[in-house]
Amino acid sequence: MNPFSFYTYSGSITTPPCNENTIHYVASQPIAISSTVIALFKEALRYPDLQNEQGGIIVSDESIMWSNRKTQKLNGRPVFHYDHKKYNCPTFKRLRKQFGNAGTKGHYEKKESTSTSYFFVEGNEPSGMPGAYVVTEKEALGTED
């Protein structure tokens, strides 16, 4: 990928639980991408696919995440701009390697990974976020013996 200029700011993710430990990067100018890259982004933004009891993969087009927050005010947060021309960022040559034969058919694979994220939900009702459940404050803060 060629060097590009971008804006960056600290904010939150746009889907519940809207955690605020997120750094956003926004290209200063549009970057052209292929339909394959768009498909890969859509796949990356899905809720995790699951397996049924027989080991078959459960895929749902309804699981694609969408942004559900309107643009928020800055509330004093700084926005930074990196200009690749100002800092004389070099352009790198792409290494071309051919994997397999031209026209070889293949597929994409995804490997599930596990991580735990705790987030605070106001009120008494659970968030309803898939796979999330209520835990004690001590567990969430890591102070449970």
The per-residue pLDDT for range 44-101, each reduced to its tens digit, is: 776 666 677 887 777 666 666 666 677 888 888 899 999 988 888 877 665 545 444 5
10 found inside a domain: yes
Residues 14-26: tens digit of each pLDDT: 777 777 888 889 9
Domain count, the chain: 1
56 found inside a domain: yes
Range of the domain at 48: 1-89
128 found inside a domain: no
85 found inside a domain: yes
- Report the predicted TM-score, pTM, of the whole model to 2 decimal places: 0.47
Alpha-carbon distance of 72 to 24, in angstroms, equals 13
Residue 9 has pLDDT above 80, yes or no: yes
What is the pLDDT at residue 98? 47
- Indicate the pLDDT class of residue 8, thresholds 50, 70 and 90: very high
125 found inside a domain: no
Phi-psi region of 138 (alpha: psi -120 to 50; beta: other; left: phi over 0): alpha
112 found inside a domain: no
84 found inside a domain: yes
